[in-house]
Structure 1
């Protein structure tokens, strides 16, 4: 995996830190996506380090304990000068407005979206005290817009539903958009918990039990059709979801 500092082995030929981000709302299949990246074995993988700083006041990057988003970015950049780094993060929090204003300027940013009619009941089943804002589509689309402003290019957006209907095609397109090699062998893996997500393992039982991108048939008692709070939450987030859905479908 390693190579000389300052000369990352980039599939897109660009020099600089080899740092790839995936942003998604909670319950968007982003942890299953991270499991696929672990299976690849060619990236050092970080699971939700920004939210760890929000929740715990700290996160670990190698041997370093960091306590701010800017400090986290600097350590991620340093590691990505030596080998490829992948960071998966969820957007229930506003990182841009809380010390993370430099995030869009660092690395390559990609996004994953899932229909809020699936995301919201799944999140509510895990956290009945949730507030609507923490579902995170507003923060997600703001991050994507800021990335577009900084780079001048529309970032790559993958729809989680495509991982269920055509995983190979969806991941091959993602890899092309993200500038990394497509590895078909990474589409299946052994079930089991992973140390990288141990802080929030109770949220990742589906990912831990999976051996690939598979559809959960779980039915939820409260849905956006039968619960007024979840219904209102859906209509609150639907416009932002649709923005990113259009971006996803504009990629040829």
Structure 2
């Protein structure tokens, strides 16, 4: 049987890595961690932590990468293949027709919370850095082809009730839910990208999804402008997300 190929489209500072852990803890699922990252950094030459290591460890030919993701065999012959993607890795000039060969899921988070987290690790931020604008564009492309909205998961809603949210998502994807998706062993994985030491400390310590924290966030300057520019895209996507 052909594997179920899931493309989970997120931006940074979301629950994307925890979701990858959740799916990898299934006995029937393989995962891929940001397979387009090497191409993105090779093309942009942005100064991300571990940039040279990421480029050296990955495939910088996006066409070859997507051919493997869409038509290649699933790792270890698994029945489910969960692919964690960042939408800002879809650079101008890259075709996106290939995404229609995958079951696309959109992971969103309030841009104010994303930006507040992002600027803790990066000195500057622009709207294009956090992926929401690209998510909205890709969502429209996928929805138009499907004739209905693909699954959308809002991080804060998800974390209030992961089990119900995962059951709903699995049903939408035609995959049986298992409680193994709710917990996982702490620590790194061989499947983690080489950038994991810079970004995955909290996930390495985790053993499951954590409740969202109530917080007051005040952004200023470029950070506030980036969040404000992304809010219409977020609110559009939020209208289509799984209910609380």
TM-score range normalised by the length of the shorter chain: 0.7 to 0.9
1:8-87 counterparts in 2 under 5 A?
Answer: 8=2, 18-56=4-42, 66-76=59-69, 77-80=71-74, 82-83=77-78, 84-87=80-83
- TM-superposed deviation, 1:226: 4.2
Tell whether 2:240 aligns with 1:247.
yes
Higher relative contact order (CA 8 A, sep 6+): 2
Q: Distance in 2 between matches of 1:192 and 1:144?
A: 33
Aligned residues: 229
Write out aligned runs for 1:98-109 (5 A): 98-109=93-104
Do the aligned residues in 2 keep the contact of 1:69 with 1:100 (CA within 8 Å)?
Answer: no
Q: Is the 8 A contact 1:104 1:146 kept in 2?
A: no
In the alignment, the residues of structure 2 paired with residue 45 and residue 100 of structure 1 have an alpha-carbon distance, to the nearest angstrom, of: 23
TM-superposed CA distance for 1:98, in Å, is 3.1
Structure-2 residue corresponding to 1:191: 186
Match of 1:120 in 2: 115
Deviation (angstroms), 1:142: 0.8
Where structure 2 has 5 or more consecutive residues not aligned to the other structure, the ranges are: 44-54
CA distance in 1, matches of 2:86, 2:101: 17
More deviation, 22-31/70-79: 70-79
Runs of 4+ in 1 over 6 A off after TM superposition: none
Alignment gaps of 5+ in structure 1: 1-6, 9-16
- Deviation string, structure 1 residues 58-77 (Cα, Å, up to 9, x no partner): 687xxxx7432222122122
Q: Structure 2 CA distance, aligned partners of 1:244 and 1:37?
A: 23
SS in 2 for 1:110: strand
Aligned CA distance change for structure 1 residues 41 and 127 (closer, same or farther; 3 Å): farther
SS in 2 for 1:36: helix
SS in 2 for 1:49: coil
Q: Distance in 1 between matches of 2:101 and 2:117?
A: 31
Q: What is the TM-score with the length of structure 1 in the denominator? A: 0.82
